[in-house]
Amino acid sequence: MRYSASRSGAALLLALPLLAGAVPLSGMNIPIPAGTTIPLNRRASFLLDDGSVNIPALARHLNFAAAKFQRGFNAFERNTGAAHPLAFLEDLFGLARRGAGGVALADQGEMLWTGKIALGTPPQEFTMDFDTGSSDLFVPAAGCGGSAGCGGRAEYDAGKSTSGRDLGRNFTLRYGDGSTVKGKQYAESVAIAGLSAANQTIGAADTYSAGFTSGMDGLVGLGFKSISVYNAPPLLDTLVAQGAVDAPVFGFKLAQEGSELFIGGTNKTLYAGEPTYVDVTHEGYWQVEMDQLAVNGTQAVGKTAAIIDSGTTLLVGNEQDVANFYKNVTGAKPVDGQQGLWSVPCDAVPQVSLTFGGKKVDIRPETFTLGPVSMGSSDCLAGIASTTSMCASFWIIGDVFMQNVYTIFDKGESRVGFADLA
């Protein structure tokens, strides 16, 4: 479904304090903003104190990503009555179940791009991961601190909010290692960078099991409603429907410094030239067609389906496609004991590019590798991993790619745009 949102209004970059958004915009005689910025912080990376990659933590991250996609496929069929065209991909990431046991959870630093939101009246503040690969919003509930995975996280107390309403529905998010996030659904006000959404469906989790180790309080899904576990409009849809933003568009810049999510349009100061757009081929995920994946100027993978996912770190494909890629890389080899993960020489990182809609995006060497596979190793963990159970050519395009381009997600026109960073 395409929106018919107005594109009028002068460009306006809001720099309002977060809590100013606790006041609803509806009914106020003020211009509708063309967009607003949410600064993002890079919380951590997959590196240990010795500078090497925490490979078990990376495997766990991919495990969570795998379960997220399977949940979305299931929700799509439940919400629409039809199977998602990629739903035959049971157990997406075979590598996810390997090396995940016995990990010191407190030491697992994951690469997350987080920003602030507030829930309720008066506002309760949370640090959130913004994820284009899912569509629901959830945070810990009051009392969740007794659950193994909730320690140190901010908690939502519905009893202290005058705007919250219990919807009488529960939710459960299951992950591939058996861990869960579960709790109740509420309708609640959400404030984000000076914008306000009323009666947004949120999840308040009374259980974050020990496997949920991501270093943030909760998650904001930015996908389409058809993959919502709640079968409810995602936050962006609510903001648009209530007139809080001018257009159902958002843009990401991910970088070591100056990362941001721009909601309601794009931040044109962060990119150069005109974006190249590609159509979403099937609404649910941000699924588009990738023209090719190339290494050192040679095509390794041809035209294929791809999902652009800010919530996954690596580029992930099936075993055959990934093997075709690495056979063109001198010194590439599988990581011992970690099926699907590969390394490349730290001093000879290949030139990798992805092409969408005829636009070639080069992956900088410093974003393609995550770090040495072990302390003192001359081999670095590479940014492309394979799966054991994907039966067709299909790719998850994560942050390894997104750090090299300004990415635009346009629900109104059902398309994704890519522009050179300024």
Say how far apart CA 195 and CA 187 lie, in whole Å.
17
Q: List Cβ neighbours of 368 (8 Å cut-off, separation of 6 or more).
A: 349, 350, 352, 382, 383, 400
Say how far apart CA 201 and CA 206 lie, in whole Å.
16
> Running DSSP on this structure, what letter comes out for residue 132?
T
Q: Are 80 and 69 in contact (CB under 8 A)?
A: no
Say how far apart CA 24 and CA 26 lie, in whole Å.
6
Q: What are phi and psi of 413, to 5 degrees?
A: -105, 5
Q: What Rg, from alpha-carbon coordinates, does the chain have?
A: 21
Is 309 a residue of the active site?
A: yes
Say how far apart CA 136 and CA 225 lie, in whole Å.
9
Q: Of 131, 291, 321, 399, which is the active-site residue?
A: 131
Q: Of 129, 206, 291, 309, which is the active-site residue?
A: 309
What is the three-class DSSP state of 412? Answer: coil
Q: Are 235 and 385 in contact (CB under 8 A)?
A: no
Is 399 a residue of the active site?
A: no
Which residues are identified as catalytic? 131, 309
